[in-house]
Structure 1
Amino acid sequence: MDNSGFVLLSHSQALRRRMDVVANNMANLSTVGFKAERPVFHEFVERADSALVDDAKETSFVLDFRAIHDMSDGAFQPTGNPLDVMIEGPGYLGVELPNGDTAYTRAGFVHVLENGDLATPGGQPLLDEAGQRINVPPEQSAQLSIAADGSVMAGEDVVGRLAVTVFDDETNLTPRGDNTYAGALGRVLGAEETKLRSGGVEGSNVQAIRETTNMIEIQRAYQTGINMTESVGEMRKRAIDRLGRVG
C-alpha cells in the first residue's frame, strides 16, 4: 500500500471514531447528567528524505488524540422529589464505589437507604466534603431538604453537606459506563462556591439535531473517501496496464 492508501485509511479510521462518539451521544440523549463527547484529532506529518517532487516529501495523517466533554449545562428536569439536585455550573457529586474508591456523577437523584445513608438509585452512597457518607437519623428522614450550598437539612439541623468536586482538567475524568466517572486531581468546592438546585435533575446536554447533522456529515465524508479510494485504485490499474504494454 502506498502513502495515498495509508492516508485514506487514517481518514476512514477517524471517521469511524467520530461516528462511534456520535452514536454514543445519541444513545444517551435521555441519560440524566450526561455530557456530550467531542473527539479531538491531531495531525501527524511524516517527512521523507527524498521524493519525486518536493511536495511529496511530507505526508499528513490523522491521529485520534482523545475525546473531551461538552460541559454546558443540560436542562432542569423537575422530579417532584425535594432531595433530587442539579449542579448549576461545573462539578460532580462524589459517590462511594463497592471497593471503597470514589467516582463522580452529574446525575443528582438522591435517595435515603434503609441504614440512613444518602445514596444514588443504584445504592452508591453520596459523600461529603471529607469523603465520608452522609447519614440521617431515622426520626429525621421525613424532614430532609437540600440547600443551594449543598447542606443537607433535617428540619433546622444540618446533618451534612454534599461535596461538589471540580476538575481543572476534564481529561482526568474517565467514563465508567454507569453514568459515573473515575477521576483524579479534583477540588471540592466550598459552600460559597456550590450552587445546587433542588427538586429536579439535570437532563442530558446532547442536542439531537446537532448529532444528526454530524452523522450525515460523517456519512458523506466516508462516501467521499470510498470514491477517492476507488479512483486511486483505478489509477494504479491503468498505470500497471500501460507499463505492461511498454514491457
Structure 2
Amino acid sequence: MDVSSYVLLSHEQALRRRMDVAANNMANVNTAGFKRETPVFHEYLMEGENARAPENETSYVLDYGTVHDTSAGAFQATGNSLDLMIDGPGYFAVELENGETGYTRAGFLRVLESGDLGTANGAVLLGEGGAPIAVPENAAGQLSVVEDGTVMGPDGPLGRIAVTAFENDGVLAQRGDGIWTGPEGEELAAADTKIRSGGIEGSNVQAIVETTDMIEIMRAYQTSKRIADDLSDMRKRAIDRLGRIN
C-alpha cells in the first residue's frame, strides 16, 4: 500500500469518527440535559526522506477527542415541581454508586427510598457542602424548589441544592446516562444560583444540523472512495504497461 492509500485511509477513519459522533448526537436529541458533541482532529505530518523539502511531508489525520457544546437547551415544561432546570452555567452534583461525585444537567428529581432527594436514575442529589437533602416522609408530596435552589417542605426549608460550576467544562468526561465526571468544581452561592422548576432542560442538539452534517460526511466519503478507485485503476494500468514492456 502506497502513501496515497494511507492518507485516504486516515481521512476515511476521521469521517467514520465524525459519523459516529453525529449519530450519537441524533440518538440523544430528546435526552434531557444532553450536550452536543463535536469531534476534534489534529494534523500529523510525517517527513519523507528529504526532511528539508516541504513537498516530501505527508499529512495524516489524528483523532484528538471531542468537545461539548455547553449552550443551554430549551426549557421543557412538565408541571412537576421537582423537575428542574439550571438557568445558566453549572451542574447538579450527585453521589455515584462508587462514592465519587458526578455532575448532571438532567433535572428529573424524586424522593428515593432512603428518604433523600435524588435523580430519576437513583443517584443521591447533593446539597450545600456535599450533604444529601433528607425529606421527611410526610413532606414527600409537598415539595417545591425556589430560584436559589432551596428545597421547601410544608414546615419550611429542608436544604439547598448545590450547583457546581467549572472554569473550563472541558475537564469533564461524559460517563453516560447524562452524567459527567471530573475534578471538583466551585459550588455556586445562593445569590449566583438560578433554578427554574416545573420543567427540565432539553437537549441542545438540533436535528436539522446533525442531518446536514451526516449528509456532508457521506458525500465526503463517496468522494474519497472515488479517489481510491481511480488510484487503483492507475496502478492496474501501470502494472499492465510494465508487463507489456517486459
Same structural fold, with TM-score higher than 0.5 when normalized by the shorter chain: yes
Partner Cα separation in structure 1 for residue 54 and residue 226 of structure 2 = 23
Asked if 1:71 corresponds to 2:101, the answer is no
Q: Which residue of 1 aligns with 2:161?
A: 162
Cα distance, 1:70 vs structure 2: 0.9
Asked if 1:212 corresponds to 2:211, the answer is yes
Partner Cα separation in structure 2 for residue 100 and residue 54 of structure 1 = 56
Contact 1:172/1:185 (8 A) holds in 2: no
Partner Cα separation in structure 1 for residue 67 and residue 44 of structure 2 = 20
Q: Which residue of 2 aligns with 1:237?
A: 236
Percent identity between the aligned chains?
58
**Structure 2 unaligned spans of 5+:** none
Q: Which residue of 2 aligns with 1:9?
A: 9
Q: Calculate the aligned-residue CA RMSD, in Å.
A: 1.7
Range 9-18 or range 182-191, more displaced: 182-191
Give CA-to-partner distance per residue, 1:148-207, whole Å, 9 cap, x none.
111112246222111111222223222222111122142211112111111100011110
Contact 1:88/1:195 (8 A) holds in 2: yes
Cα distance, 1:121 vs structure 2: 1.5
Partner Cα separation in structure 2 for residue 220 and residue 32 of structure 1 = 31
Give CA-to-partner distance per residue, 1:124-158, whole Å, 9 cap, x none.
11001211211022233343211111111224622
Closer/same/farther in 2, CA of residues 72 and 12 from structure 1, 3 Å limit: same
Partner Cα separation in structure 2 for residue 151 and residue 246 of structure 1 = 87
Q: Which residue of 1 aligns with 2:142?
A: 143
Contact 1:68/1:170 (8 A) holds in 2: no
Range 23-32 or range 92-101, more displaced: 92-101
Cα distance, 1:54 vs structure 2: 4.1
Partner Cα separation in structure 2 for residue 64 and residue 231 of structure 1 = 27
Equivalent runs, 1:100-115 vs 2, <5 Å: 100-115=99-114
Equivalent runs, 1:78-227 vs 2, <5 Å: 78-155=77-154, 157-227=156-226
Instruction: State the SS of the aligned residue for 1:63.
Output: strand
Give CA-to-partner distance per residue, 1:8-62, whole Å, 9 cap, x none.
00100000000000110111111111111111111111112328x9453111111
In structure 1, give the amino acid aligned to 2:24: N
Question: Structure 2 length as normaliser, TM-score?
Answer: 0.94
Cα distance, 1:246 vs structure 2: 2.8
In structure 2, give the amino acid aligned to 1:228: I
Q: Which residue of 2 aligns with 1:40?
A: 40
Instruction: State the SS of the aligned residue for 1:90.
Output: coil
Aligned length: 246
In structure 1, give the amino acid aligned to 2:140: S
**Structure 1 unaligned spans of 5+:** none
Partner Cα separation in structure 1 for residue 88 and residue 11 of structure 2 = 36
Cα distance, 1:211 vs structure 2: 0.4
In structure 2, give the amino acid aligned to 1:4: S
Range 55-64 or range 32-41, more displaced: 55-64
Cα distance, 1:104 vs structure 2: 1.1
